[in-house]
Structure 1
């Protein structure tokens, strides 16, 4: 006996990836519903590579009764309106928006990092998926924190345009083409030209000069991993279609060498260490696309602090940063609480 699963936002980048991951991982589904806004009703989406096509149902009239799990990837607006309705009907919501992440009654989960926290889902019947840049970061930090206790993290991100949805990817493509043929380039989704450029601005600005994306990385890392960790981030949009990269500097309370860190990361769940100190002995965003792992490279000692290392972290943001993590949460929920399949 399997689950009845609704994928909300099924026509978007992440929604389609959720369908793909559910199928790839053979998640025990008796039934899958594609749910979307009224403008997408009747649109067909494929369930993975199975050839099975699902017609989108209208979220405004969807009956949540009898559904076990809803994977939401429709943004904060629909999550605010419909997630509580689904939860009240007994359907457990796993939400990919930022809306519930810092709610003290909603667990914020990365299964490789804080699986026990999922037990708190019963307070609201809602579980939050972290920000894409946070998810891959904490997968890398967790085993190192367990070994030597992290005091401080400085991270610079190189985030792909897919983090801004299909419109972001389209803008990169259209601007790149325009430049090659000599047409004018007009920013629309982004604040400045993204083709052949980098933009140190993701999400809205806060009073202290940081952006909301940078704030998310800080507060979400504290909630998921350890509230004592100090973290500062600079989040940058780069002209890449899929795959986020991060340059991470970590200061520890206890001694940890780069070689020890490599040994730890080599065995860590969800991590793939590719760290050869030679030309091409590292992973770049285009190489991580479609993969479930968080790739770690360029691990080295930081001589500027007493106990510090620096590393390079790359992951498919549509997968570990969103769809894959949500499905892994559903798998964890099934093992610990629902016991089907």
Structure 2
């Protein structure tokens, strides 16, 4: 049995990756349709060895379609998500709109697959923030073994997390630096991103944290454990694709770094690359196009009784967005088969 699958926002970075991953993982789809806004109507996108011509999201009838992968932003998801859900099509939404809704499961399949049971309340499933997704994949097996009390995370997030405009700005500013007659000021970002780092992602809240930092806290609690204390500093860096995170973990029980390394090596979705030598770790450029969440620099934190430090890297367009959405679709499909 195959599914009829919708990819909405198919011309964007994440939408294109969704189509790529559906094909790469041979998702059992009898039919796939690519939707876009009217300004991109008729654009062609690749799906495996096929080319799809985009159709109009605004006029599309979701009746008879099984699963819709949304990469269209919160405003559009607010308008079209309920329409698709009401028509009987299960929406897997990549925006932040539904992540904190009690009636909408927020899922990372390696971490909380059981939460899929809650999708029927709204016929909508939320995909987490890119920086949260890779972090909880790494935290879950350690939490199962030693119960995590507190997490301190600093992120190093690529410009692709800000969409095509972020990628273009880094590219244009980098070229301009080598051309004395040219200058490209900040537009998408608050300061120059080329050869710089910006400790500011999303809007500032009254607490002093940014919304991106707040998302990591709220989503980790919803996905993994409400009791875990999380504090985050999110930083935009001049990298095109791939988010990195330096994570400090405090556990209730002592967990030796060697045991932690062994646990992570056999955990789903994780690839450990951790040699204490030059180059014995993974950097963003090496994770591009890969499905895995990479963990390196696993070591004890001697400043607290039960502390560990780890370095986590992942392709944010994949595990942080498109891959996780497709994995949710796979999880959903398996559940539908069992119920059928």
TM-score scaled to structure 2, two decimals?
A: 0.99
Unaligned runs of 5+ in 2: none
Counterpart contact for 1:3–1:29, Cα < 8 Å:
yes
RMSD (Å) for aligned C-alpha atoms: 1.0
**Which residue number corresponds to residue 241 of structure 1?**
240
**Which residue number corresponds to residue 140 of structure 1?**
138
Query: Equivalent residue of 1:181, what SS?
Result: coil
Query: Equivalent residue of 1:45, what SS?
Result: strand
1:33 aligns with 2:43: no
1:29-108 alignment runs, 5 A limit: 29-48=29-48, 50=49, 52-108=50-106
1:228 aligns with 2:227: yes
**Which residue number corresponds to residue 267 of structure 2?**
268
Moved more, 181-190 or 291-300: 181-190
In the superposition, relative to structure 1, how do residues 151 and 340 fare at CA in structure 2: closer, same or farther (>3 Å)? closer
* Alignment partners' CA distance in 1, 2:320 and 2:81: 20
**Which residue number corresponds to residue 122 of structure 1?**
120
1:318 aligns with 2:317: yes
**Which residue number corresponds to residue 16 of structure 1?**
16
* Alignment partners' CA distance in 1, 2:327 and 2:173: 36
Tell me the CA shift for residue 336 of structure 1.
1.5
Query: Equivalent residue of 2:6, what SS?
Result: strand
**Which residue number corresponds to residue 172 of structure 2?**
174
**Which residue number corresponds to residue 334 of structure 1?**
333
* Alignment partners' CA distance in 2, 1:282 and 1:61: 48
* Alignment partners' CA distance in 2, 1:185 and 1:65: 46
* Alignment partners' CA distance in 1, 2:116 and 2:40: 32
Query: Equivalent residue of 1:78, what SS?
Result: helix
* Alignment partners' CA distance in 2, 1:40 and 1:239: 28
Counterpart contact for 1:3–1:340, Cα < 8 Å:
no
Unaligned runs of 5+ in 1: none
* Alignment partners' CA distance in 1, 2:174 and 2:206: 34
**Which residue number corresponds to residue 305 of structure 1?**
304
TM-score scaled to structure 1, two decimals?
A: 0.98
Count of aligned pairs between the two proteins: 339
Cα deviation, 1:94-123, whole Å, max 9, x if unaligned, reads: 000000000000000000000000100000
In the superposition, relative to structure 1, how do residues 116 and 298 fare at CA in structure 2: closer, same or farther (>3 Å)? same
